Amino acid sequence: MINPIEILGLVAAILTTAAFLPQVYKTWKTKSTDSLSLTMLLIFVSGVLCWLVYGFLIDSFPIILANFITAISGFLLLYFKYRYKN
Amino acid sequence: MINPIEILGLVAAILTTAAFLPQVYKTWKTKSTDSLSLTMLLIFVSGVLCWLVYGFLIDSFPIILANFITAISGFLLLYFKYRYKN
């Protein structure tokens, strides 16, 4: 049995990871990145990479999973920001 | 002495929390929310609230701190999205 606390962590992980998918999709479809802050994206991706290492060190699967996928979304948004800049 | 692993968690927490401040500032200044996905914001805030509870349950101060402040940023962005809609 999975620990109920880990289930909550997984729900959290799924939500905050899934959250960026509609943003990635919207940015890809509209090619609009005006309202997205580049500073936000750069700091965010750095932070997500730190969380990923932290997740490995405290051996928390939800933290590892969430931040691995969020890192990919973050890098995609950074790429779109660079690609579709005005 | 603080555990070095907790220091890395705090750095991660500071970065992913601080990341949303330039976004909140940019959105507040430009009143532009076109490129921000409402679906992203709603799922994101729900997820951040789950992380907050998870942080209390596994007693991780970086997770609690990060998600408390990120929740505030998330609610502010939701408010701007509602307030400055076209």
This model of the complex carries an ipTM of 0.81
- A30-61: pLDDT as tens digits: 998 888 889 999 999 999 999 999 999 999 88
Q: Kindly list the distances between the CA atom of residue B74 and the CA atoms of B6, B62, B80, in Å, as whole numbers in the listed order.
A: 24, 18, 10
Question: Would the pLDDT of B76 be above 90?
Answer: yes
Confidence class of residue A2 from pLDDT cuts 50, 70 and 90? confident
pLDDT at B1: 63
Domains of chain B: 17-83 (1.20.1280.290)
- B38-70: pLDDT as tens digits: 999 999 999 999 999 999 999 988 889 889 999
Rounded-to-integer distance, Cα A32 and Cα A34, Å: 6
Chain B contacts in chain A segment 16-55 (CB below 8 A):
16-23, 25-27, 30, 32-37, 39-41, 43-44, 46-48, 50-51, 53-54
Rounded to a whole number, what is the distance in Å from the CA of B1 to chain A's nearest CA? Answer: 18
Sign of CA dihedral B71, B72, B76, B79: positive
Rounded-to-integer distance, Cα A17 and Cα A4, Å: 20
